[in-house]
Structure 1
């Protein structure tokens, strides 16, 4: 529920809010309410709260509207946010405090994450997935409560051996339209340009980290390490023909990526086979049946794996396939663009779960300098997504 109040030391933001949004409700409910005690100067009680020790961690990132309260303490770290910006961007929780909205959380994260990591966080919050690993104490608490299988809209994806993984599915926390409205609202606020440019790098809603990774590799500007290709659509809905429906037992399918030619005359489907999501017993058979159904309807489809994306030589083969099927000519990258691609790969194929990790002072300084450079005019060209994932854009560095 959105509220329009400001309560000193009771609004969490930045990485603390990110951890909160990553935590399945069943684990939050297993912890007693938390109070950010203003009468506890050493925060002795606060540091022992289960919600802090098992979920949020320290330091707790909280919002203030007074520059005099800015601090980087071990327990609390204050972020100065103008009171007017908070209106409509604060949500009440059932856990004794308030939390910045997903949009405001991403904006505060832009001050501590790398640019690529900010884009990753945007994909996650706009997507139907998250990364979460409960503590042993919380897992045991849920087992005691017989609450391991509650219906809260969140589902843990099983790994190959049937054990719980770190990947969870859940409804999207926000969407691109809401983020764009928020970006328009913060015009003139320090950091808004970086936020807007990161938002330009998000192609759409994805359902897994693998889908986000290939989207970033294809969509992001070559100056940022991507291919700069705009003509595709995430989670494209296909209605099955009668025969395809009989084969799969489904009325239709949601295709991970529909890539179209620059002239919108040809298309090709990409289906992601994430190691965790798709390599379970029976999943391979379902994927094969769906691919066969699509091919029976005349759709070209390629199944891609994480290994194909991680290996640059195998990824080059995928680009060659798209080039052949869609008539795409991929321009040669400059040395600076190749360095940017290596940096992008290091981020997106790194520890996605670790986005909530507190950076060291040296890491934070380096990130701020890098993000400051990205805020300068002309660092890279602003791009807009073509309608329905197709059409031409004068800034796209592709030729059909």
Structure 2
């Protein structure tokens, strides 16, 4: 394929873990035609159709069920395109986000930015790919949340780790002392989720610099405004939802907290180190009142990581260590963020602990919060589709 893949199609490419890409054959040659290309396994399973590509000014535009072309000089430049091992070129992550701006909603663009700037990606393999991945699965490496961040610094960006959830399944086993008889036993197994951990594809400062550069271009204002909302490096979709629900202005459905820090680290005291078994702790979301130098910590507990809502012993020790140092630690789940009353109770408690003024939301603000909640607590697999 001679064209450069961009926008939503490139977004799906960058979401696909390298170990999954390696399972697929190269794409057909351009001489085989677009119909053969559209029917190739990697396109049907990952890229999907229509395939969105860039074309230089004056080039031919195509809009069909197989392909869509857009004009974007910056995306078709040498510095913006990369050669893949599958015999096609793709826009780099920054250019991918910029070309997505014309196809997705402002909120979805923000979520895509958080994903590319974050430590995670969302991808669901097909059943055939899943079977191949299971052959080399090493469940032990996913024993704790913290270990997911321990990516080998000697490796490049191709190193991804999958997040596994603990699920209970029923299996038939042979009963003791009963020849030929079987009984049903409930066992706990690890099941691969759609969440993968990897190094950020884009540095946060790179996103903001690129947004300023592209602001005067077509779709640049929308891109710039979305980038201003991305203020931290998150580790899961649920963290992103929590960040937006807490940090966005009340007029946009958020809680209006200003000094919000994401995945910040706190050095531990000697006693706290003995509890946590580590020198520092990384907190999911930290809200600070700089006037009194006090912070509230929110630990986001997603079922996608821990399975059935269970909190790992490692995380309990980490929370206990922080509490021993006088920090107020709030354990927040998906259901809490999804419940207006529960979220309001958390906000009220944070304001009380941090000596910040609490204000009830107006009817319009509550409506905006409902809309925001629906947009951020969404199925991330659907972004860009």
Q: Give the secondary-structure state (helix, strand or coil) at the position aligned to 2:264.
A: strand
In the alignment, what sits opposite 2:202? 174
In the alignment, what sits opposite 1:131? 122
Matched, 1:86 2:77: yes
For the Cα contact (< 8 Å) 1:203–1:215, is it kept in 2? Answer: no
Matched, 1:239 2:271: no
Deviation at 1:35, TM superposition (A): 4.7
TM-score (norm 2): 0.84
Deviation digits for residues 246-295 of structure 1, max 9, x if unmatched? 22221221111111115252111111111121347984322221111111
Q: Give the secondary-structure state (helix, strand or coil) at the position aligned to 1:155.
A: strand
Q: Where does structure 2 lack aligned partners over 5 or more consecutive residues?
A: 142-154, 168-189
In the alignment, what sits opposite 2:108? 117
Once residues 348 and 192 of structure 2 are traced to their aligned partners in structure 1, the CA distance between those partners, rounded to angstroms, is 36
Deviation at 1:142, TM superposition (A): 4.5
Once residues 186 and 139 of structure 1 are traced to their aligned partners in structure 2, the CA distance between those partners, rounded to angstroms, is 39
Deviation at 1:194, TM superposition (A): 0.9
Q: Give the secondary-structure state (helix, strand or coil) at the position aligned to 2:327.
A: coil
Q: Give the secondary-structure state (helix, strand or coil) at the position aligned to 2:216.
A: coil
TM-score (norm 1): 0.81
Matched, 1:101 2:107: no
What are the within-5 Å matches in structure 2 for residues 352-367 of structure 1? 352-357=380-385
Q: Alignment partner for residue 183 of structure 1, among 208, 211, 216?
A: 211
Q: Give the secondary-structure state (helix, strand or coil) at the position aligned to 2:166.
A: coil
Matched, 1:253 2:281: yes
Q: Give the secondary-structure state (helix, strand or coil) at the position aligned to 2:221.
A: helix
Are the structure 2 counterparts of residues 287 and 279 from structure 1 closer, same or farther at C-alpha, using a change threshold of 3 Å? farther
Deviation digits for residues 298-342 of structure 1, max 9, x if unmatched? 222111111110001000000011110112224444444333222
Q: Give the secondary-structure state (helix, strand or coil) at the position aligned to 1:88.
A: helix
Once residues 384 and 75 of structure 2 are traced to their aligned partners in structure 1, the CA distance between those partners, rounded to angstroms, is 27
For the Cα contact (< 8 Å) 2:165–2:306, is it kept in 1? Answer: no
In the alignment, what sits opposite 1:228? 256
What are the within-5 Å matches in structure 2 for residues 53-72 of structure 1? 53-72=44-63
In the alignment, what sits opposite 2:293? 265
In the alignment, what sits opposite 1:34? 27
Alignment: residue pair count: 346
In the alignment, what sits opposite 2:336? 308
Matched, 1:140 2:131: yes
For the Cα contact (< 8 Å) 1:10–1:36, is it kept in 2? Answer: no
**TM-align CA RMSD:** 2.3
Q: Where does structure 1 lack aligned partners over 5 or more consecutive residues?
A: 1-7, 358-400
What are the within-5 Å matches in structure 2 for residues 269-348 of structure 1? 269-279=297-307, 283-348=311-376
